Amino acid sequence: MNFKVVWTRSISRATRPDRGTVQRFLPEIVEGDKRILIIDGKPVPSSLARIPQGSEIRGNLAAGAKASRKPCPTGAATTATLNRLKKRVPVATAFPSRKSASRS
């Protein structure tokens, strides 16, 4: 349904025009996707759920998705994901915490 949009945007942003991005379709998208904010390695208790509307499958707010506050997922799977992210994602220093700001 949105293949043309996804493909066009993927290849136009790629470093080479013969490359694109492919993502497996997950039917659970009708329940929305979640954006989770992590501060000091801990998830904020609420997350932003972007829920597609009508026959649309994209959760983009610009495509008409509804924004909703949802509880942040908890449990072993979330903890394991956070631990993997801590090893791969550098700590942002653009907005230092008060502790690190007071050390300067």
Mean pLDDT in the chain?
75
The pLDDT of residue 1: 46
Note whether residue 104 is domain-resident: no
The pLDDT of residue 104: 47
Name which residue leads in pLDDT, 22 or 77: 77
End-to-end CA separation in angstroms for the chain: 53
Task: Quickly state the pLDDT bin for 16 (edges 50, 70, 90).
Answer: low
Note whether residue 19 is domain-resident: no
CA-CA distance, 58 to 95, in Å (whole number)? 31
Enclosing domain of residue 80: 27-88
Indicate the number of domains in the chain: 1
Note whether residue 40 is domain-resident: yes
**Total-model pTM:** 0.54
The one-letter amino acid at 67: A
Query: What CATH number does the domain containing 50 carry?
Result: 3.30.470.20
